[in-house]
Amino acid sequence: MTITAFDDDNDTLKYSIVESRTDDSRLLEIDPETGEITFISDPQIKSPGDGDFDGVYNFTVQAEDSRGETDRQTIELTMLPAFVPAFAQNAGFLIPGSSEYADFVKVTA
């Protein structure tokens, strides 16, 4: 996830996560230049490590310009399980070699 902020004067912005004992800020880090947010340790969907163990990570991001002016935004990031496609087992196709025309099957996952 990447945070983007805009400055009216086009100043360069630095990003930070505002630390708090009441949210999940201790579990995340942010690149001060790009605003890219990453987990310090990979989160586990089946046993979330957020403060109230509900898979919703709450934290506040701050953008600061070169003159020290700041703005903050509270973020609520919900972790959902990845969609895993299911394929039929033992699927097979028969293409007769004597056919003038043949159908081909392509599966991309």
* pLDDT one-digit tens code per residue, 20-56: 877 899 999 999 999 999 999 888 777 778 888 888 8
Contacts 24+ apart (CB under 8 A), 67-72: 67/11, 71/5, 72/18
In a domain, 67, yes or no: yes
87 pLDDT higher than 90: no
In a domain, 7, yes or no: no
Domain count of the chain? 1
In a domain, 56, yes or no: yes
78 pLDDT higher than 80: yes
Residue partners of 2: CB distance under 8 A and separation at least 6: 34, 35, 36, 37
Total-model pTM: 0.68
Coil, strand or helix: which one is 10?
A: coil
CA distance 10 to 89: 56
In a domain, 105, yes or no: no
Coil, strand or helix: which one is 33?
A: coil
Choice between 60 and 79, residue whose per-residue pLDDT is larger: 60
In a domain, 50, yes or no: yes
In a domain, 83, yes or no: no
Mean pLDDT of the chain: 82
97 pLDDT higher than 90: no
Range of the domain at 62: 14-78
In a domain, 62, yes or no: yes
